[in-house]
Structure 1
């Protein structure tokens, strides 16, 4: 079966199809606007017409009520068996209150006139035409009144006036019954103009025109405002009276432009235009919202995938300590499902019972002070659902909403039980590794021994040679003790000191290899320099180096391994003198200086410096100067400066170098100062 082809607009390009849809929407909205304006105009017309008809009905009701009250007022004239004279007085007084009456008459049962009074507000109505011309109308009204046994009205008729004008009047006849017998009639002549002006409220006549009309539309009486506007609204109501029926017509005028009949129509039009604008804005906003929703959905999916893939447990709690969120890793960690944890307060089901009180107090303090723990975290112990305890590392941060208010805490929890087990294994193996590493440095230490023992052994050899020379130079016949005895005694003492120093170096290296705690003692800076000065002076004389020592006054002692620090000073001094062993260098200064370290904690550190006046250190050499086994000497091993830095760093200080002025290099290192107390500090490994 062949399928019917798709409409052309469905086969069009998506952009063209969207344009067609928007064009259709615009046309629909434009049609809606036109319809709204037209409906608003029709609604306004209907509202005006309804209001006019309602006013007309209310006016008819007011006239009918006023006529009823007038009947009651006329009945009061016959209270107390009045005479024609007294009746005339009362009737004249009543005419002052009712301007709608033109004349009041009292007639006998045969319609003979007993008394009559004209309105004081105008000339007598019947002066020109005479009263007898209206006798037929009076008779007709009174006949109708006898028939209904109540007031009746005649048809209206025109009465010409002496000023050339005239007025439309009608007669009201009310029978007077005394002791069940007809005693006469009271006849009231109504002016239709007076009825309109006196019996209809000014609210109706202020903005509208009220009139009595014939059935064919002929106006009998008119009252109200003049015509205003170019559109007429008309409403008619029948005033049905006993014996006569009048048509009350009310005309209203309104300005009604073709486009905007009234404010409501303009308002509807403005609202329609606003609706189109809102539609455009909503379209743009809808696109932004859709994009934001897609981005949010992607972000939520990404966050969900990320949280599900985490091995770190996440837990959120509100300000009352109730759990509001847990991720799968946390549930797997404690063995409880999310449904068992969400909404739970303290004590939490994963708290060990023996620690529940402590945890609850800690949580209460945190809630009371609104204070989160430090971001580095703290360790705690949790309990799995099967009762097994395991250590966790908890890192908490406050949860802040978009208003900047804290709503709770977010906790990241790490199960560190495996880490603890690995740490124990590492701690056990670290001891073996350290011993192995130290044994691996035996070769390096052997090199160090050979490097460091050269100086005391060379000094011993020099002092021994000098002693032999002194013995050989002794004069014959003299006792040996008298031959330069003091010099020989000094040489032997120096031999003993350097032998003891060589033994201390061996013991220090031996202790380093055996991983024993090194004894650090309080030593004054002068004592350190005095101990190395004989060896420094011995080599300085050979190389023609001028030695200068400068120690600031009032310096405290330093806490150090005395032998190792002396070796550092000796190595730096030997390197400085070798750097100045140049043929063309005449002035060869070597300066030792001790002062307080120039740092924020200068009161806790002393700075030792060894300065030379050599050629300085090139840039390519400076970058590798402290690298083990790097040397610029033909017979060097490249261990001296590396070991010096290691020793200084073991004491918590630093070793560096800067160019000297005008030439040479200054090596500086720091040692901790003490305040008159001894301390045994383990070595830093």
Structure 2
């Protein structure tokens, strides 16, 4: 879809881009000029400061040299110490940087000394004797150099709580090639900076003596602080000592512009502003209109991009002219791949493309398209299908002409998923209700059937007792006795066995019902140690009866190494019985195998196997397996085999295997199945071994989780 003023907005944005580029270039040029001028001025200030630092070092060296010449003139004539004192004191009044002047003999014995008149004695607090070693070393160096030598600086604390950094100078006095003594002068480093440096050089800067590592020894002037401090350092190399002269200054910080550049930039700025003003006055109205239009289009575009409903516009020929981002995200196809596309659309499923094309031709042939929605199925780029709800309406332009069709598409897959979840939830609720009903029925049946079963057991026992009582008189009467009557027929042993079986099975049915009742009521089941073979023997009469009826041969395999298991005997017997019946029924639908290999009767074999669950004979679990030779379990049935109320039998309720698994899991075991070879299914479960402890049966549960897996 093309909008009327879209090109105007594009040109406006391009013009603004050009103006922005021009302004950026001008600002960049001005910034570069300012930066270059600043760098130039900074380099000039730094060069000037370096030159001043060099001049400072020269002034200090020249002043110290002049002092040496003065010392030599003072000692040029021989005079006693008393006569030496007056000219020496005069010399100290002229040179404030000298704190103390000493005349020493060739053995460094002090012959006389003079203190500066401008302050108290430097050595008043600590005395001079503590520095004799440094003086001896300095004079030795001076003697070796045949000239003046300087000691390293040292700090002298004063009585006022402050201190002073000083150094000694030793000058040998030689007359006619013979050493006559030494002149030792003590300099104040701070006063050297104040007295020997020219006033012009020291004005407005901070002068200091530092060591090589930057430690400040003496300072003259004000220390400059801030980010635009210029620093220059020069070495003052003296015989026997080397100091660093540091000069810091904030003077000479460059102005914003140099004079020539200021005039040039000002002229360019005035010209640029004039041109911009003229152009802005001419374009103000036009830009205002374009700005309003751009805001309207941006607002509409923002609304279209923010909606979750897919929007699609088509012309009268069915070609797509516009799609919003929601529609592109819905079908997983970019807008450039959808625009100008006709039938078949990329998001149509191939199997439905012909039907969709025919339906579109019918719907677009009429001018009055109904506005109600209709459902359809779209396809994403990865091939997945999803349901959509489509609502279409005619697209009318500004002059009232019908130019196409506008569609709103809603993805209803989430709605369908929620409906499916609701249906599944309803099914689960119904299943829960059915389970509750089954529990109630089990409780009711257990209560109602206990009395008839007890009556059956009582009648069977009574009948057996009556039959045995009738047999006794007949057996005791003599055949030829005088009062012998008709001989009673002997009671058949098979009839006695049948009556006993009736009593046993009635009692067993009562126990089963009681166990089911306790299981439903979640009561604690009574567990006892039972031999695994005894569990099979208890159900074999019923299994054998059904096996003869169905034509199945039952094979029992019991490993002698199996120990007694701890279980609820009645419930486990029911599990074995249920699995055995399922196995025999699974072989009924199987067709006979090849007659040349074996008869059909031999193919229907049910194997009941008991063995330790592990490879060794001391496993803590015993495995029970029921193996049939049926057709096996299909994959789609295996996924929900243990689901309550799921059954493949027409008369089944779908609760047998589910209850069997619950019973085994309550014993701590595991019930599962696998395919048998060459055919059939193996249902197996595990029960814990009962271990004797202090005369009681208990379960060693240390390896429950590992061996069960």
TM-score range, shorter chain: 0.3 to 0.5
Q: State TM-score, norm by structure 1.
A: 0.36
Larger gyration radius, structure 1 or structure 2: 1
